[in-house]
Amino acid sequence: MITLLDYGAGNVRSVINAVEKLGGSLKLVTKPEDILNAEKLIFPGVGNYINMIQILNQKKYIEPLREYLEADRPFFGICLGMQALFQGSEEDFSTNESLGFFKGRVERFKTDLAVPHIGWNGINIKQKSPLLAGVEHDARFYFVHSYHLVPEDPSVVLTTTTYDYEFVSSVQKGNVMGTQFHPEKSGKVGMQLLKNFIGSKDLHASGPMAIQGKGLAKRVIACLDVRSNDEGDLVVTKGDQYDVRDKGDVRNLGRPVSLAKRYYEEGADEITFLNITGFRDFPLKDMPMIKVLEETSKNVFVPLTIGGGIRDYTDSNGQGYSALDVAAQYFRSGADKISIGSDAVDVAQAYIATGEKTGKSAIEQISRVYGNQAVVISIDPKRAWVDSPEEAKGHHLIKSSEPGPEAQAYCWYQCTVQGGRQTRDLDAVALAVACEALGAGEILLNCIDRDGTNAGFDLDLINAVRNAVSIPVIASSGAGCEAHFSQVFEETNAEAALAAGIFHRKEVPIGAVKTHLAQRGIEVRQ
Ligand code: 1PR
């Protein structure tokens, strides 16, 4: 019997699904006494440190947790759940009353690499522990965080990971342990680790070890554009430059849940669902998308992103719902990240015009509660060609690597909303910069000109945006063959590449992309 501490933020559903998949039974902590009655306790956490600590204090969980830990009873903290074991975080120097079981603090990454650190990275093993039994030395786990531990006592370090420099990625003292990475999102190897925690009678580490692991891999992401077809069935569709109809009908390339499972099994590092008509509907009424997430997360143990329609709403009865309510429902249903498209354009335009953060935008609200890493901005730009720099009227100008249709030498990338239906007087670079300032943690960079063309990623666009921000960028639109993936990783600093059509039409398997990248010396998770 596993007891799960859910303090209300982040994606606990994935942990529940993983434990149940492994045959464990689960009980949720609903009152302080449940903590002391636990046999084994798992504490998953994602998001904002201050928010977590405040809730733990409000619910009066701190004292029973301390008593549980001091008694050396089995405890597994995941991400923030592990950070809570330490004395405090740079995220909040003021008030925090954390568990203080380990001496040391949590600090923000100090690096020129993208922060948050997102993706599949290796582990350098420092101690022999039953928790890591059966874990291959070249295994990679899924990380998503901006802060890392700095323990005072080196003897508690179980593993480190290298991201620019070496940081502590898991700790253990007796039966108390925690990982910065997410085993519930780390595919088979993560399941092995959870199985070890659930199944082992004796979890104590048995001495030092020195195994060097791999580095951060470039991510290959499968994207499922989802909408209802004319019969009202939810289908995965795919457009050519965002036009998803063929002879009048919505193209139907399969069912979202089964396709997602297929991509997980084929080695996708993440899966993204975009509800492409979300701007029309109210997502909390759009139960099929929530069902898709719930069903997918039962069998898919890699990160899931969901986008489409995430904004504030007022329903027909005048009842208001915030974007945060919508996102919360998606997180509870199994999403790890939400993606915001149209609303981000409106918010960024307002922010650029006034220079003021209202604190009320979807980006700000969701990142405040769930953390920056949970907020992806999906950008849908198209090229606006100009003959001279002056014509770009202050928009981020690019000297195009290929001439325009009328031999224009320059362009800028114009933002669109509602799936390309409307254009706005804002360029993609300015949008990305503004959204990062507002709290976004990642950019999903589409390109309408390239979408569905198989002509390769738009490298000019990707370089312009990636060079302007310090958060990770996912290159999207136009992948037509394996070589397009190596090209985007060799010629830009994108952290991930996403494709849809070639995977749906079975033209290029995900495994072939990974093999090709590995042959070119690009690190990938196999
Ligand atoms: O604006 O917050 O409601 O979100 C709507 C979301 O739906 C946005 O993320 C937007 O990108 C997406 N979307 C809207 N309409 C379409 C459409 O295709 N008609 N799809 C659409 C965007 C782009 C990528 C695609 C890549 C790779 N699709 O997701 O998967 O271009 O395709 P490829 O590899 O086949 O070239 P909001």
Residues pairing with 77 in the sheet: 43, 178
Query: Buried b vs exposed e over 81-108: b needs ≥16 C-beta within 10 Å?
Result: bbbbbbbbbebbeeebebbbbbebbbee
How close is the Cα of 503 to the center of ligand 1, in Å? 15
pTM score, whole prediction: 0.96
Catalytic residue annotation: 79, 182, 184, 225, 380
CATH of 2-211, one of 3.40.50.300, 3.50.50.60, 3.30.365.10, 3.40.50.880: 3.40.50.880
Ligand 1 pocket test target in 238, 250, 274, 482 with most atoms within 8 Å of CB: 274
What ligand 1 atom has the least distance to the C-alpha of 311?
Answer: 2
Q: Which residue, judged by its Cα, is nearest atom 8 of ligand 1?
A: 341
Provide the residue ranges of all domains of the chain, joining segments of one domain with +.
Answer: 2-211, 219-379+415-519
What ligand 1 atom has the least distance to the C-alpha of 309?
Answer: 3
Ligand 1 pocket test target in 326, 337, 342, 378 with most atoms within 8 Å of CB: 378
* Percent with pLDDT over 70 in the chain: 98
**219-379+415-519 shares the fold of 2-211:** no
Q: What is the pLDDT of residues 210-223, one digit of tens each?
A: 999 999 999 999 99
Q: What is the mean pLDDT of the chain?
A: 94
Give the DSSP H or E segment for 164: none
Q: Which of 512, 454, 522 is nearest to 486 (CA)?
A: 522
Residues pairing with 88 in the sheet: 105
How close is the Cα of 33 to the center of ligand 1, in Å? 47
Residues pairing with 227 in the sheet: 235
Q: CA 174 → CA 34, 45, 73, 384, distances in Å?
A: 22, 21, 8, 61
Q: CA 3 → CA 26, 39, 298, 316, distances in Å?
A: 6, 7, 19, 41
**CATH class for the region spanning 219-379+415-519:** alpha beta
How close is the Cα of 52 to the center of ligand 1, in Å? 33
The residues lining ligand 1, judged by C-beta closer than 6 Å to any ligand atom, are 223, 225, 238-239, 242, 244, 274, 276, 278-279, 307-310, 339-343, 378, 380, 419, 446, 451-452, 476-479, 499-501
Could you tell me if 370 and 329 are in contact, meaning their C-beta atoms sit under 8 angstroms apart?
no
Question: What is the full per-residue pLDDT of the chain (526 aa) written as tens digits?
Answer: 999 998 876 678 999 999 999 999 999 999 999 999 999 999 998 878 888 888 898 999 999 999 999 999 999 999 999 999 998 877 765 555 789 999 998 999 999 999 999 999 999 999 999 999 999 989 999 999 999 999 999 999 999 999 999 999 999 999 999 999 999 999 999 999 999 999 999 999 999 999 999 999 999 999 999 998 888 889 999 999 999 999 999 999 999 999 999 999 999 999 999 999 988 877 677 678 899 999 999 999 999 999 999 999 888 888 888 999 999 999 999 999 999 999 999 999 999 999 999 999 999 999 998 889 999 999 999 999 999 999 999 999 999 988 999 999 999 999 999 999 999 999 999 999 999 999 999 999 999 999 999 999 999 999 999 999 999 999 999 999 999 999 999 999 999 999 999 999 999 999 999 999 999 999 999 9
Helix axes 187-199, 12-21, angle to 10 degrees: 70
Q: CA 347 → CA 264, 266, 344, 364, 456, distances in Å?
A: 34, 37, 5, 10, 30
Q: What is the pLDDT of residues 70-111, one digit of tens each?
A: 999 999 999 999 999 998 877 765 555 789 999 998 999 999
- Looking up tokens 């979807």 gives 362
How close is the Cα of 377 to the center of ligand 1, in Å? 12
